[in-house]
Structure 1
Amino acid sequence: MQLPRLLLAAPHSGAGKTTLALALLQALRERGLAVQPFKVGPDYIDPTHLELASGRRPYNLDGFFLDGEGLLSLFRHGARGADLALIEGVMGLFDGKDPQGRVGSTAQVARLLQAPVVLVVDAGGMAGSIAPLVQGFARFDPGVRVVGVLANRVGSARHAEILREALAPLGLPLLGWLPLDPGLELPERHLGLVLAGEVRPPLEALRKALRLDLEGLLRLAGEAPPLPEAPPFLPERHPPRARVAYAWDRAFRFYYPEALELLEALGAELIPFSPLADGALPQAEALLLGGGYPELFARELSENTPMREAIRRFRGPVVAECGGYMYLSRGLWVGEAFFPMVGLVPGEARMGERPVLGYREVEALRDSPLAQRGEAFKGHEFHYAHLPPSPSPAWRRVGGEEVEGYTDGRVLASFVHLYLPARPQGALRLLLSAQNPLG
């Protein structure tokens, strides 16, 4: 596979990777190129912005969820029909699950995909110091090839020229820059950026503000070496097995697209519905309630009594993750206000001050719609809400004693966002249990 590609990385979070990615996607599209975006790491939010700017569905590349062959298969799957791939990294270039950044890091993906790396540097308040900073990242790992720099929050054209001159002795070009302008910043909230569907990113302003050596960028992307063959990421499409209704609105929309595609390939007919706006469930044999921001819409969710009652009456398998878990609880506390929720799982959810986050590998304590007892799954957590310990926990942390979630065999609810492509048997089990509900 010979596909031009670039990976945007940074020394640390908050340098402007997403902002530069949006600006680049527009510049490349204006050139007439079909650009496939990818996002490193377990991220549901940045991809909404990347999709808006590119017109193509982004995919997540994560070296904790998938091995090298799996990552290569997913990359090839997502890049079909593209002229170029643009990969946005996560956190700092060498930040990952372990202190050396060997697993779950942007560097791991860069090595596996042999992708040239462009370092995004927050240059505000920086001049010549950009050179030793970039030099350190460029020399740290021989398997990661840094080929140039994009500067963010640049004070002026003269400031950009100083940065360019400082980088010249390293043989690394300043490929482009964005000025210091609050109007170019993307809005944030407690889980990261605000979803693209809620507040439109300043795409037009970014397009006009970007100063870019487009020819140099394309030349470096084209120097990426051919990639080896890899098996198909998805199985051959199976005839229809079950209809799966999945929550999709402003309150719930955190799903990995490759996980939904896996369900479809295994025979699911996916039907979106809105717990906020709909008064009834669609005809379906299984329910998916993904993550999101139920705390921002607690009153509307609580006041939609017909939907809460419809979910309580539903008799097929139900899988709820994070925000979906909160929605299935007896109620949600937001500050001093309490909002009744579905009540399918015990306990009341409360918003905390500090996040619970990180990769997870969990083992099933009992049978559920996704897992048989003893099976292990990979996923991640990122939430501020808490629920009291369940009388029937679903998972135990692999290598530890911590238990989490709830299952009664038909309902599975947990704060862990599972990555189903890492264990497709779970997705198949859900569809088979939908064909044969417990009643």
Structure 2
Amino acid sequence: MVRLSRLVLAAPHSGAGKTTLALALLLALRERGLRVQAFKVGPDYVDPTHLEAASGRRVYNLDGFFLEETRLLSLFQHGARGVDLALVEGVMGLFDGKDPLGQVGSTAQVARLLKAPVLLVVDASAMAGSIAPLVQGFRAFDPRVQVVGVLANRVASERHAELLREALSHVGLPLLGWLPQDPALGIPERHLGLVLAGEVRPPLQALLRAFRVDLEGVLRLAAVAPSLPQAPPFLPPREPPRVRVAYAWDRAFRFYYPEGLELLEALGAELVPFSPLEDAVLPPSQALLLGGGYPELFARELAENRAMREAIRRFPGPIVAECGGYMYLARGLWVGEDFFPMVGLVPAEARMGERPILGYREVEALRDNPVAQRGEVFKGHEFHYAQMEPSQSPAWRRVGGGEVEGYTDGRVLGSFVHLYLPARPEGARRLLAWEGLP
């Protein structure tokens, strides 16, 4: 059995301030001298950058749609080795997920699987006594989800905090901490969520100074989490490096699941970062990863780096490009009325749209590609505004829906779907064993 103090931070809805309160709590715990491992529920690439900045540790994604229970426990224990406490930031509202009641892909599902106490983050800017029935409803909805306390965001004053505390006492829940209503404590947003931690300096010290927290109460509640069964190792035994894999990593491209990269390394990949924005040549490598990101924000710079576009166009090995990387492989990218030439390996043009396309995906390979054989099914997620012209050689058919998507010629795979390779490690093995590797 594994004994580990742990908490889940959830909220009634998106925008309540989960990330802001998670950062404040991470900082307070670290100031106490504790080693804290942060996790993020759901297929999120952005919030983990902020959690990593505050925790000083790599942040892993916990998702009940991607991983069944044993594998999710394995990943949780893999990330939390040697720490004093694990802090899991939820996604959207507590019971929001793939289905109407949040049985799959929700914060509630992860809290149930981890048997973790839940602190509910409430935006208190327009309420006082109403916080009590709100929180009581969330506590009573599913007895398997243990809501044990409240963190309040956007609190107007000390008196406001006292009113919230008194109201919560009537339903037997503590107000364990709060942050004042101060725009300077927030993190800027854009069309795919928060701005990345590397692009803005998170107000970490200001958060720590402003945070009013009963840290002893938080630690007591975290410590009551029951022991978990010992799960199998998340990664296979590590193999010696045998395949060099270059992966795009800069301001335009940096959306990767860290556990996916670790899986590749365990299977024999030597990962080498490069910048499509800044570099003129690719590092010596046998396979190429182009992750998601924000190519639309750097379209001009990407277009002007002709040397890199040509280097990728001439690259002889397998290429896997997801979302932003898929857009970069296209003939060009339209941003408004402006057209920017891109790599040209995908015979189509990408165009930024007005509405997001998002959701979990199960996709079946229509033909062999660098990670899948025809007929194999993979799990992933989409979140983008861009659209691509229909392909004459689509890569995937959505399971249950029938829509086709992406592009492949067998060597190049481009798609808006961010694949979660740890759910099907055979895909990573196939990439590293691709028959055309030099």
Asked if these proteins are the same fold (TM beyond 0.5), I'd say yes
Counterpart of 1:109 in structure 2 is 110
Counterpart of 1:273 in structure 2 is 274
Counterpart contact for 2:287–2:437, Cα < 8 Å:
no
Give how far 1:53 is off: 0.3
CA distance in 2, matches of 1:126, 1:369: 53
Counterpart of 1:146 in structure 2 is 147
Give how far 1:415 is off: 0.2
Task: Label 1:417 to 1:162 Cα distance change in 2 as closer, same or farther (>3 A).
Answer: same
RMSD: 0.7
CA distance in 2, matches of 1:78, 1:233: 9
Task: Name the amino acid aligned to 2:268.
Answer: G
Task: Name the amino acid aligned to 1:325.
Answer: Y
Deviates more, 1:232-241 or 1:132-141: 232-241
Give how far 1:113 is off: 0.2
Give how far 1:169 is off: 1.6
CA distance in 2, matches of 1:346, 1:143: 50
Counterpart of 2:334 in structure 1 is 333
CA distance in 1, matches of 2:13, 2:126: 16
Mapped pair 1:255 → 2:276: no
**1:28-427 map, 5 Å:** 28-427=29-428
Give how far 1:200 is off: 1.2
Task: Label 1:431 to 1:438 Cα distance change in 2 as closer, same or farther (>3 A).
Answer: closer
CA distance in 2, matches of 1:186, 1:298: 24
| Deviation string, structure 1 residues 331-378 (Cα, Å, up to 9, x no partner) | 001111110000000111100000000000000000000000000000
CA distance in 2, matches of 1:169, 1:126: 16
CA distance in 2, matches of 1:431, 1:127: 57
Counterpart contact for 2:26–2:36, Cα < 8 Å:
yes
Count of aligned pairs between the two proteins: 437
Counterpart contact for 1:241–1:432, Cα < 8 Å:
no
Counterpart contact for 2:282–2:311, Cα < 8 Å:
yes
Counterpart contact for 2:322–2:415, Cα < 8 Å:
yes
Task: Name the amino acid aligned to 1:195.
Answer: L
Task: Name the amino acid aligned to 2:273.
Answer: P
CA distance in 1, matches of 2:373, 2:437: 15
| Deviation string, structure 1 residues 146-186 (Cα, Å, up to 9, x no partner) | 00000000000000000000000211000000000010111
CA distance in 2, matches of 1:232, 1:327: 36
Taking structure 1 as the reference length, what is the TM-score of the superposition?
A: 0.99
**Secondary structure of the equivalent of 2:122?**
strand
CA distance in 1, matches of 2:201, 2:424: 35
| Deviation string, structure 1 residues 50-79 (Cα, Å, up to 9, x no partner) | 000000001000000000001100000000
**Secondary structure of the equivalent of 2:379?**
strand
Runs (4+) off by over 4 Å: none
CA distance in 2, matches of 1:69, 1:94: 21
CA distance in 2, matches of 1:144, 1:438: 48
Counterpart contact for 1:410–1:438, Cα < 8 Å:
no
**Secondary structure of the equivalent of 2:143?**
coil
CA distance in 1, matches of 2:249, 2:150: 38
Mapped pair 1:10 → 2:35: no
Task: Name the amino acid aligned to 1:277.
Answer: E
CA distance in 1, matches of 2:8, 2:369: 39
Counterpart contact for 2:132–2:171, Cα < 8 Å:
yes
Give how far 1:240 is off: 2.1
CA distance in 2, matches of 1:240, 1:351: 39
Task: Name the amino acid aligned to 2:158.
Answer: A
Task: Name the amino acid aligned to 1:225.
Answer: P
**Secondary structure of the equivalent of 1:92?**
coil
CA distance in 1, matches of 2:399, 2:218: 43
| Deviation string, structure 1 residues 125-152 (Cα, Å, up to 9, x no partner) | 1010000000000011010000000000
**Secondary structure of the equivalent of 2:433?**
helix
Give how far 1:241 is off: 2.4
CA distance in 1, matches of 2:394, 2:313: 20
| Deviation string, structure 1 residues 396-432 (Cα, Å, up to 9, x no partner) | 0012220000000000000000000000000000000
Give how far 1:438 is off: 6.9
**Secondary structure of the equivalent of 1:170?**
coil
**Secondary structure of the equivalent of 2:303?**
helix
CA distance in 1, matches of 2:409, 2:56: 41
| Deviation string, structure 1 residues 227-253 (Cα, Å, up to 9, x no partner) | 111100000011222100000000000
| Deviation string, structure 1 residues 285-343 (Cα, Å, up to 9, x no partner) | 00000000000000000000000000011000000000000000000011111100000
Counterpart contact for 1:312–1:342, Cα < 8 Å:
yes
Unaligned runs of at least 5 residues, structure 2 = none
Unaligned runs of at least 5 residues, structure 1 = none
Task: Name the amino acid aligned to 1:212.
Answer: V
Task: Name the amino acid aligned to 1:437.
Answer: G
Task: Name the amino acid aligned to 2:98.
Answer: K
Task: Label 1:220 to 1:438 Cα distance change in 2 as closer, same or farther (>3 A).
Answer: closer
CA distance in 1, matches of 2:367, 2:337: 35
Counterpart of 2:436 in structure 1 is 437
